[in-house]
Structure 1
């Protein structure tokens, strides 16, 4: 995973703008838990909203030029685990898995926002929570559907790998 910080990052990263972070389950700093969250299908998290007792329509909003209806809610993770998963077995399994992952992260309450546009397509999704290791705040914007995507890593000359820096420092210190 690459995290960019612009000029502020460059000021503390010897002129480099990007951090390169390993996202493994045994990675430093608990990034494995973030990886599991990043891999989740937002539709599964969003499916927790209608079952919540604390769910409402916020109103109409424009997101990235698209007219949307904004919904929000607070999901009690323990209560969500007690509710029926639905009629489709696969959806139920995925829902159970995501609830278990929130529990593993130490999340007891999940704040969800969903912006729905034309054709009932999700335009934006946001989840916020307090996890054992600190705050979780993840927003996803859906810019298009069924279009190819090209992702390019930043140039190595503009990245810092903290894990590599630690290994180098360890070798120098013996």
Structure 2
């Protein structure tokens, strides 16, 4: 595992400094023993952290849904807050309310918040019926995931595996090039242990595939070369908060309740106007 080799390398690098300052054969022997102990300690610590993160990932995946408060900061203006249900037990889906002004959707609705669904690989936005065009008389606007994540990315978020879910993101932790235990913290009134992991883009599996396609709208915002993931794990091995930073974008998820959430279904087709082609045409210039 890449993590194991990296942790050992850190320990050996520190021990090398001791070795170069040691004198005589006895000093060399002590330095060698120090190097071995440092490497073993680094690996053991990393393994302990990974065991805790693996338990949290497994528990999150097992429960399949949660009530979540999410804030997305694109680094270009007011962060977008989204509160509602995320589901990943039978394909990735969400049903949230987001701030209309922060999402810059005032032209489509007079409501202060926009109900937003992601289900069956597409986004649906609850809007006011428009006087003309593809949204004329429609209650919902649809944009297929391929217009947001690219064709390959959309495939990663669809199907029965829950791709793109919090649990799916957490699975990438096992590929982290660096992990740390930052100690005990209280988050949202709950005692937690704060962990941090740095993930290389090439190791992110489905999540990176969704971010990295050349045809992805998110591609320009995720060009930081790595993802830093902070996770606060509470009792019952469940995450209380998950924060991901990639490029200029920061996404923070606060988990209020796991399991037993409502089913998420697409709106009726006759109430929906599809803007997928228009969005793709804008991308192409």
Name the TM-score, length of structure 1 as normaliser.
0.55
- Whole-Å Cα distance in 2 between the matches of residues 26 and 48 of structure 1? 22
**CA contact under 8 A between 1:109 and 1:129: conserved in structure 2?**
yes
- Whole-Å Cα distance in 2 between the matches of residues 70 and 142 of structure 1? 15
**CA contact under 8 A between 2:241 and 2:252: conserved in structure 1?**
yes
Of residues 143, 155, 162, the one that matches 2:256 is 143
Which residue number corresponds to residue 61 of structure 2?
Answer: none
Name the TM-score, length of structure 2 as normaliser.
0.37
**CA contact under 8 A between 2:149 and 2:211: conserved in structure 1?**
no
Of residues 180, 189, 192, the one that matches 1:56 is 180
Task: Name the CA shift for 1:17/1:9 in 2 (closer, same or farther; >3 Å).
Answer: farther
Unaligned runs of 5+ in 1: 82-95, 152-160, 167-174
Does 2:212 align with 1:99?
Answer: no
Shift of 1:71: 0.9
SS in 1 for 2:173: coil
- Whole-Å Cα distance in 1 between the matches of residues 101 and 212 of structure 2? 37
Unaligned runs of 5+ in 2: 1-94, 115-124, 126-140, 265-272, 279-285
Q: CA RMSD in A?
A: 4.0
Does 2:117 align with 1:4?
Answer: no
Shift of 1:62: 1.6
Task: Name the CA shift for 1:7/1:109 in 2 (closer, same or farther; >3 Å).
Answer: closer
SS in 2 for 1:144: strand
SS in 2 for 1:147: coil
Task: Name the CA shift for 1:31/1:65 in 2 (closer, same or farther; >3 Å).
Answer: same
